[in-house]
Every structure is written in C-alpha cells, then in structure tokens.
Amino acid sequence: MYYTYKYRLEPSDTQREELDRHRDICRQLYNHTRYRLNEYRENHSELPSMTTLRSELPDLKKWWDGLSDVYSKVLQTVVERLFDNLSSLSALKQNGYGVGQLKWKPPRDFRSFTYNQSGFKLDKKGGQTVLSLSKLADIPIRLHREIPDVHKSDSSRAAHQKSEISGDDAALKQVTLKKEPTGEWFATFGVEVVREPPQKPDRPKNVVGIDVGILKYAHDTDGHAIESVDLSDEQERLEREQRKLSRKQHGSNNYEKQRRRVAECHATLKNKRRDFLHKLSDYYAREYGLVAVEDLDAKGLVELDGNSRNRAGAAWGTFLRMLEYKCEREGTHFVAVDPAGTTTECAACGVSTDKPLWVREHSCPSCGFTADRDWNAAWNILSRGIKQLGAGRSESTPVETALPTGTHSVPAKRVVEAGSPTLKREPSGER
C-alpha cells in the first residue's frame, strides 16, 4: 500500500532562490526532452525509450551549464515525468478523446521536482527538523505529524543516517518538492507499506448507503443528513480580491502582490473543503463494514447546464475517491452502484415515480410509503450495493417507520430497517 504525507517547508530567502533555480532547470530539461522526442518522431518511425533518453543525461552535462548542480535522480525523474504524460495522452486517445501533443512548459506550469529513492533524508540540526536534500540545502520542515511506520534513529546515530522502519515493512520511497501559487513550498513524502490490507467481512453487519447532494452534502440510511461546509464568507472574499486584481496593471509589483492574495483565497477554500471531505470519508470508512455509493460521473455532471458552480464546489468525485481508498485501508467493502432511478424508485415497494427536483419528499402512490427524498435514494443505493456485493442479505431491504401509524411526514432519522429494536419500543415523539 502506498501513502503520501504532505508537510510545509520553511526555507530562507537564499534557499527559496535555490529551490526556484533547481525547479527551472528541471523545467528546461523537460522542454528539451520534449523537443528531442519531436525530432525522433520526424526522423524515425519509432520513439526512443525512456532508458535511451535518460542515458543521454551525462552527455548533456558536458555542455549544459547548471545541469550538474541538480541531483542525478531528480533529472531522471523529469524524463520519467514526460513519459508518464505521454502514457496519459495515449490512454485518453484510446478512450476516444481528441488529444494533441505535449506542450512547452512555461515557468508557471512547472511547479515541482522529485527526489526518488535517494538523495534526501530527515535530519535534526540546530534543534529543529530539516529535510536534507542532496546538492540543494538543509531546509527546515514543519512536521505537524509523524510519518507513520517511520521512526528516527537514536541521537547517537540519527544525525547522519537514513530513517529506519519499525512495525510493518515500510520505506520512504520519494519526496516531491512543490511551489504553490501562493509562493509557499511543500514536501510530499511517498511511503510504501508492505502489508496485507485488513480482512473484509463476508457478511458485514454495519452497512450504509450514501446519497450525495448540494444543500445536504450526504444523506445516509442511518438518518444522518450532513450539511455542506459553509464557505460563503471565503467565496465572497475571493470575489472581492479578484475584483481588486482586475484593476491592477498586469506585471506590476502591486499586481503580483494582489495575485498572491487571490491565490491564498483559493488555497483557503481548497483546504477547508478537503478537510471536510477527509473527515467525512474517514468516518464512514471506519464505522461501517459496507459503504454503498452512486457511481457518479462527477466530471460530466459539472459540464451540465445550470448550477455547475455548486456541483463543482461539492467535489463529489474527490469525496468518492477518498472514500474508496480509505475503505480499502480499513477493510471496508466499497460498492459503487448504477445511479439511474435511485431517486424515483420507492425503497419500500420498488415502484418508480417521477418527481421534479424541487419536490423534497418521496410519496409512493402504490404503497403509500412517505420519506425524505434523499433518504429514500440512500436506501435504494444500499439495496443495490448489497445485491451487487452478494453479501448474503435479501435483495431488497424492507423499511418501516418508528413513528405512529398515519404519520405522513417522516423525518429521515426516524426511518429504520425492519427488525430494528426501535420498532419494538413505544415511540416517544420526534427528537
């Protein structure tokens, strides 16, 4: 299993200049390698392999001033990065997308470089933790949390030795240095842990279906309606700073200062949204043995007309990706089902009833079952997930309510699965 952990760097002004210089050399090498590929494409029938282009790096150092100042493994990862981009373009082309060729990278579009396997280590110098990078610098790093499965050696050995691994067979594989649009530098460590994922239960007991939305971000079968994170203040500030930026002269010092303020607003929005999504996905992955969701085409939904801004801000695709890998980590079944008809179908009898988006309550004309629209959809998602997984439960999950007979409006938190102990108790009124 492969994990990544991101930390803030605190370089001095001199170190920032060196980081920018190394980044720009890597960018120029990327553009040079791209140019060499185009030459091969014009003069030969086949493109050279990645190994062939990497073998040309020692000859480049003979005439390219500055290339020798960058660690050799960093230069090799630049070539690998180009071939990874080519592979991504080929995959898109095979799936029917119209794609062109790789473009020349300007400074603003090339923000990172990577130390792979060697050339980096965490160290203690002057009473603070630093990231020691070969041919670059010892940069102070803000370790707000320990890197899991990696511990530092004792004080007599740790100062100049690589971190050792305890517990599971784990290793620091690489570190990527990236400059954000705000001007801040971050280090992202790649940690490979060799271990078997937790055993997934054949018959999971705690199961949940989740229907995602905008006003209520997630509505699950346990009756939890999670509000979307309120980012209205941050959005207003971003728009205000963007208006100020539009009045600055492009390229001036004031323009650059304001551009950074806008970038900081974007970073605040992104960080708060991702913090919310991480906490929510972690809760479902830890608390349940089976999590069923809709297999949404998040990108296609954003491209639809109307309300696309709110759909993009909801970041459903990011949430589902987070939930999937965390379920794998925790040994939880993750099932993505066909979303067609989950809103119109009745969770009690299966009869479909069309209803416009503004109708927020499901009322079945066939069986009379009434429930919150999103809760009904969540139960349909769970029923399909159980059927798709084949977890040994019935294909359809019967539902009843814990409220007195004759109640028309059923709060989602009071809707429970048939057989629940709640049904055997006298209702005490809505809480």
Q: Compute the C-alpha angle 164/165/170, nearest 5°.
A: 135
Amino acid found at 340: A
SS3 readout for the chain: CEEEEEEEECCCHHHHHHHHHHHHHHHHHHHHHHHHHHHHHHHCCCCCCHHHHHHCHHHHHHHCCCHHHCCHHHHHHHHHHHHHHHHHHHHHHHCCCCCCCCCCCCHHHCCEEEEECCCEEEEEECCEEEEEECCCCEEEEECCCCCCCEECCCCCCHHHCCCEECCCEEEEEEEEEEECCCCCEEEEEEEEEECCCCCCCCCCCCEEEEEECCCEEEEECCCCEEECCCCHHHHHHHHHHHHHHHCCCCCCHHHHHHHHHHHHHHHHHHHHHHHHHHHHHHHHHHHCCEEEEECCCHHHHHCCCCCHHHHHHHCHHHHHHHHHHHHHHHCCEEEEECCCCCCCECCCCCCECCCCCCCCEEECCCCCCEEEHHHHHHHHHHHHHHHHHCCCCCCCCCEEECCCCCCCCCCHHHEEECCCHHHHCCCCCCC
Q: Is residue 196 classed exposed, middle or buried when 0-12, 13-18 and 19+ CB atoms within 10 A define those classes?
A: exposed
The answer to whether position 94 is within a domain reads: yes
Check if the beta carbon of residue 355 is closer than 8 Å to that of residue 362. yes
What is the SS3 assignment for 301?
A: helix
Give the domain range for residue 307.
202-229+261-431
User: Does residue 269 carry a pLDDT above 50?
Assistant: yes
The answer to which of 23-32, 98-107, 194-203, 381-390 has the lowest mean pLDDT is 194-203
φ, ψ for residue 200, nearest 5 deg: -85, 135
* Token pair of 278 as six digits: 């991480």
pLDDT at 380: 87
What is the DSSP code (8-state) at residue 143? -
* pLDDT band at residue 148 under the 50/70/90 scheme: low
* pLDDT band at residue 342 under the 50/70/90 scheme: confident
pLDDT at 374: 82
Task: Please indicate whether residue 227 or residue 105 has the higher confidence score (pLDDT).
Answer: 105
pLDDT at 410: 29
The answer to whether position 245 is within a domain reads: no
Whether 163 and 214 share a structural domain: no
Beta-bridged to residue 194, according to DSSP, are: 169
What is the SS3 assignment for 279?
A: helix
CA 68: distance to chain centroid?
35
User: Does residue 150 carry a pLDDT above 80?
Assistant: no
pLDDT at 428: 38
pLDDT at 78: 95
CA-CA distance, 159 to 142, in Å (whole number)?
Answer: 18
Beta-bridged to residue 293, according to DSSP, are: 336
The answer to whether position 252 is within a domain reads: no
Whether 30 and 149 share a structural domain: yes
pLDDT at 185: 96
The answer to whether position 163 is within a domain reads: yes
CA-CA distance, 334 to 176, in Å (whole number)?
Answer: 30
Check if the beta carbon of residue 219 is closer than 8 Å to that of residue 228. no
Q: Could you read off the pLDDT of 299-311 as tens digits, one per residue?
A: 777 766 666 777 7
When mean pLDDT is compared over 15-24, 77-86, 217-226, 364-373, the highest value belongs to: 15-24
User: Does residue 45 carry a pLDDT above 70?
Assistant: no
pLDDT at 42: 76
What is the SS3 assignment for 364?
A: coil
What is the DSSP code (8-state) at residue 290? E
Whether 173 and 285 share a structural domain: no
The answer to whether position 110 is within a domain reads: yes
**Of 194, 210, 238, which one is at a domain's C-terminal end?**
194
Number of domains in the chain: 2
Mean pLDDT, residues 70-95 taken together: 89
Whether 137 and 70 share a structural domain: yes
CA-CA distance, 380 to 294, in Å (whole number)?
Answer: 10
Q: Compute the C-alpha angle 364/370/374, nearest 5°.
A: 95
pLDDT at 188: 95
Whether 177 and 220 share a structural domain: no
Whether 225 and 308 share a structural domain: yes
Whether 217 and 188 share a structural domain: no
**Of 194, 210, 239, which one is at a domain's C-terminal end?**
194
Whether 151 and 214 share a structural domain: no
Whether 269 and 382 share a structural domain: yes
CA-CA distance, 341 to 358, in Å (whole number)?
Answer: 17
**Of 194, 221, 243, which one is at a domain's C-terminal end?**
194
CA-CA distance, 84 to 362, in Å (whole number)?
Answer: 48
Q: Look over the chain and give the mean of its residue pLDDT values, rounded to a whole number.
A: 80
User: Does residue 220 carry a pLDDT above 90?
Assistant: no
Q: Alpha-carbon Rg of the chain, whole angstroms?
A: 27
Q: Could you read off the pLDDT of 156-177 as tens digits, one per residue?
A: 333 333 333 334 566 888 999 9
Whether 387 and 416 share a structural domain: yes
The answer to whether position 185 is within a domain reads: yes
Q: Could you read off the pLDDT of 381-431 as tens digits, one per residue?
A: 888 888 888 754 434 343 443 333 332 332 323 323 333 333 333 433 333
User: Does residue 358 carry a pLDDT above 90?
Assistant: no
Whether 206 and 185 share a structural domain: no
pLDDT at 400: 42
φ, ψ for residue 350, nearest 5 deg: 90, 0
pLDDT at 411: 32
The answer to whether position 249 is within a domain reads: no
User: Does residue 273 carry a pLDDT above 60?
Assistant: yes
Mean pLDDT, residues 254-260 taken together: 94
The answer to whether position 57 is within a domain reads: yes
Whether 15 and 95 share a structural domain: yes
